[in-house]
C-alpha cells in the first residue's frame, strides 16, 4: 500500500515538473536569447560610438569616459529587460532596484565620489589623455580616464590606477599643458675659478644647441658658496618634448668644455689640522 502511494506521489511531482518546464521553458529561453542578443547589441553600439568619436576627433579623455558610461547604462537596461521577460513586475523591480541602489550607494560612497571626480576632470580638463602629470606621488603619462579611475603609465612602463576622486580633490602638476619648459642645470667649480670666463664657456656651449630657444635667452648665475665649490645655476628654455635630451646633452658638453678650458670641477675636500700637546711630537 505504501509503495503504491509513493509511486502516485512521484508521478504527481513528475507531472508538476513537466508542466513547470513547459510553462517556464519558453520564458527562460526568451530571456537567454534576449541576454545574448543584447550583449552583442551593446558591443555594436559601443563600436559605433567609438567610430563616431574618432571620426569627429572628440577628445580622447571624453571619448573613453563616454564609452564606459554608455556601456554601464546599456547593461542596466538589458538586465531590467531580462528581469521583465522572466515575469518580474516593473513596479516591483523598480522598488527592489531603488532599495538596492540606496544600499549600494551607501556602501560605495567612494565610488560615487570617483564618478563625480571623473565628471569634474572632463569638465575642467586639468589634464587629458596623453598628458604627462605628477599626482598622488606618481609621475607618468595619462593612458585613459574611465568612469571611476584614471590610468597613469610610469616611465618604467608600470600602469598605476588612481581614483578620480583623489585626482579631482588634490593638486596635480601637468607637465604637458605648456609647449615650452625651462631647463635647469647646476654645476660647481673650484674656489679661485674665474666666474666670468666660466659663464662665457657655458653660454658658448648652449649657443651650439639649436633646440635651446633664444628668447628667453639662456642665463648663468652664481648661486651659492658650497663646501668645496662655487655653485652655478644654468637656465634655458626648450620645447617640452626636448627637455631631458637638452639637459643630458648639455651637461655632458659643459663637462667636456670645462676640461678643454682647464676649469676644475672639484670633489669634496676637508682640511685636517692635528694639534699635539705641548712637548710632544
Give tens-digit pLDDT for 147-160.
888 999 998 999 99
Cβ neighbours around 135 below 10 Å, total: 21
The count of other CB atoms within 10 Å of the CB of residue 158 is 10
Q: What is the pLDDT of residues 61-92, one digit of tens each?
A: 667 777 877 888 888 788 877 777 776 666 65
| Furthest CA-CA distance within the chain | 129
DSSP per-residue string spanning 94-131: HHHHHHHHHHHHHHTHHHHHHHHHHHHHHHH-S--TT-
What's the whole-number average pLDDT of the chain? 82
What own/partner pairs with CB < 8 Å and gap ≥ 24 does 224-227 have? 226/188, 227/268
Rounded CA-CA distance 183/219 in Å is: 11
CATH 3.30.70.100 domain extents, the chain: 180-260
pTM of the model: 0.58
Name the nearest CA neighbour of 201 among 244, 232, 157: 232
Other CB atoms within 10 A of residue 13 CB? 10
Q: Which CATH class is domain 117-174?
A: mainly beta
List 188's β-bridge partners, or say none.
231
Query: Which residue in the block uniquely carries the three cell numbers 546599456?
Result: 74
**Cβ atoms of 201 and 257 closer than 8 Å:** yes
What are the backbone dihedrals phi and psi of residue 144, each rounded to the nearest 5 degrees, phi first? -160, 155
Classified by CATH at the fold level, domain 16-107 comes out as Helix Hairpins (1.10.287)
Residues carrying CATH 1.10.287.1260, the chain? 16-107
Pick the CATH number of 180-260 from 2.120.10.80, 1.10.10.60, 3.30.365.10, 3.30.70.100: 3.30.70.100
Write out the residue limits of the CATH 2.30.30.60 domain(s) in the chain. 117-174
Per-residue confidence (pLDDT) for residue 270, from 0 to 100: 74
Q: What is the pLDDT of residues 252-267, one digit of tens each?
A: 999 999 999 999 988 8
Q: Is the dihedral of CA 49, 53, 55, 56 positive or negative?
A: positive
Amino acid at each position: 500500500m505504501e509503495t503504491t502511494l509513493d509511486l502516485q506521489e512521484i508521478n504527481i511531482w513528475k507531472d508538476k515538473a513537466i508542466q513547470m518546464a513547459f510553462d517556464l521553458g519558453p520564458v527562460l529561453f526568451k530571456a537567454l536569447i534576449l541576454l545574448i542578443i543584447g550583449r552583442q547589441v551593446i558591443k555594436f553600439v559601443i563600436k559605433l560610438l567609438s567610430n563616431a568619436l574618432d571620426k569627429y576627433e572628440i577628445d580622447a579623455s571624453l571619448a573613453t569616459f563616454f564609452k564606459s558610461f554608455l556601456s554601464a547604462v546599456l547593461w542596466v537596461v538589458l538586465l531590467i529587460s531580462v528581469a521583465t521577460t522572466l515575469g518580474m513586475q516593473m513596479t516591483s523591480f523598480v522598488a527592489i532596484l531603488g532599495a538596492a541602489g540606496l544600499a549600494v550607494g551607501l556602501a560605495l560612497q567612494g565610488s560615487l565620489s570617483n564618478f563625480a571626480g571623473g565628471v569634474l576632470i572632463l569638465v575642467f580638463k586639468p589634464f587629458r589623455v596623453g598628458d604627462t602629470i605628477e599626482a598622488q606621488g606618481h609621475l607618468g603619462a595619462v593612458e585613459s580616464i574611465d568612469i571611476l579611475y584614471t590610468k597613469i603609465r610610469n616611465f618604467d612602463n608600470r600602469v598605476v590606477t588612481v581614483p578620480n576622486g583623489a585626482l579631482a580633490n588634490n593638486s596635480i602638476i601637468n607637465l604637458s599643458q605648456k609647449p615650452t619648459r625651462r631647463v635647469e642645470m647646476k654645476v660647481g667649480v673650484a674656489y679661485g675659478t674665474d666666474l666670468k670666463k666660466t659663464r662665457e664657456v657655458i653660454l658658448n656651449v648652449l649657443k651650439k644647441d639649436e633646440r635651446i630657444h633664444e628668447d628667453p635667452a639662456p642665463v648663468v648665475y652664481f648661486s651659492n658658496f658650497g663646501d668645496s665649490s662655487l655653485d652655478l645655476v644654468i637656465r634655458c628654455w626648450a620645447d617640452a618634448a626636448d627637455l631631458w635630451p637638452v639637459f643630458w646633452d648639455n651637461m655632458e658638453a659643459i663637462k667636456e668644455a670645462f676640461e678643454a678650458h682647464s676649469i676644475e670641477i672639484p670633489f669634496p675636500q676637508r682640511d685636517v689640522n692635528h694639534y699635539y700637546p705641548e712637548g710632544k711630537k
